[in-house]
Structure 1
């Protein structure tokens, strides 16, 4: 099987990336948007797309949620399985834009996490990926994306995707914008990198929130 283009640069150094990812907590990374996640008053079905070493998947599994973690990079996935061996995480080797294995399972989810993932997709892949993600949502399901902005490392397959493009794409697919915010700084302390968050709901009756 050919390597997934978006994983370029990660397979060669999985231990370094594992250390970086696990050095920051789920709560810190998702603080700007966690209030929108349907995890506070029920046990949710969650798909963590591009789960890396499973930091977020593990935190959610510890809280009792049902978590499928998709990670196409074998080294990252194996690190995650070792680091979080005690957590009930269903690890899956799959990738965007189609998520063939996930879609074939016909499962639907309350929450889709795409944390530092969208930037690895080409424009055409982003269109397809949004269609795929919407198809995986339960009626009131939520999609959360974090978007990286700043210089692109030369060894990565990565793009600086404008927030406006993501918002327009979600709306074109019939999703309701719940949240959009831009945050200065980076959780790993990189001065030239900053992040934004976009959260959508499949429930068209939800009211948008733009703090």
Structure 2
């Protein structure tokens, strides 16, 4: 790998470019309603502006688009973002190459959202990055808007940059930035391969 290629790797995305081909089929194989079962009742029922941070192949954004929502799908891994744009073409989805913790391009748009999704992303951020990220995410929420997050617990591929993150720490960060806890639930993984490995998830929801 060249120095130029290494310089383009966004911290937290290590391993995703290399595994993109296998990940695309895995992501596309998990229905939205199965993955989000713990928080389905919290999703907006009227057409809303949604920010999906770490959108992957856009399978979540695509489902939300069918419900009439407009989604800004933020994904820093080129292979996943490009695959998503091809797999799920929709006038309701806009793709953006941006990343946590700073979300520089997203913040520069001066938009706020009814719902922000940060699923299967948070544990890739170091402690300092998580603090920066939470403050930026809170600023992107409309009044009374919702933030939904999922934290992975358990074995991870060696190629990934992963930190042990607790639900308790995440709740404290959210509270510090003016967000109120609306839900906390722990579930098994929706992906069979992860479920067999003993992967668990914490689902959290916060309201501004």
TM-score (norm 1): 0.91
Question: How far apart, CA to CA, are the structure 2 residues paired with 1:87 and 1:30?
Answer: 23
Unaligned stretches of 5+ residues in structure 2:
1-6
Q: Distance in 1 between matches of 2:85 and 2:20?
A: 13
Q: Which residue is 1:44 aligned to?
A: 48
Deviations 1:36-84 (Å, cap 9, x if unpaired)? 22x21x2100000000000110111111111100000000001101110
- Counterpart among 103, 107, 111 of residue 103 in structure 1: 107
Match of residue 201 from structure 1 = 207
1:152–1:159 CA contact under 8 A, matched in 2: no
Runs of 4+ aligned residues of structure 1 deviating over 4 Å after TM superposition are none
Distance of 1:152 and 1:169 partners within structure 2: 24
C-alpha separation in 2, matches of 1:87 and 1:27: 22
> Are 2:49 and 1:62 equivalent residues in the alignment?
no
Which moved further from structure 2: 155-164 or 108-117?
155-164
Structure 1 gaps of 5+ residues are 203-211
Instruction: Give the one of 138, 143, 153 matched to 2:142.
Output: 138
SS in 1 for 2:72: strand
Aligned residues: 199
Tell me how far apart the structure 2 counterparts of residues 14 and 82 of structure 1 sit (CA, whole Å). Answer: 14
Tell me what 1:28 maps to: 34
Q: Paired residue for 2:17?
A: 11
After TM superposition, give the deviation of residue 86 of structure 1 in Å: 4.0
Normalised to the residue count of structure 2, the TM-score between the two structures is 0.92
Aligned-residue RMSD, C-alpha? 1.1
Q: Deviations over 1:112-158 (max 9, x none)?
A: 00110101100000000000000000001100001100023211011
CA contact (8 A) 2:65 2:90 kept: no
Note the C-alpha offset of 1:2: 2.6
Q: Which moved more, 1:168-177 or 1:103-112?
A: 168-177
Instruction: List per-residue Cα deviations over 1:167-187 (Å, max 9, x = no partner).
Output: 11111111100000111x211
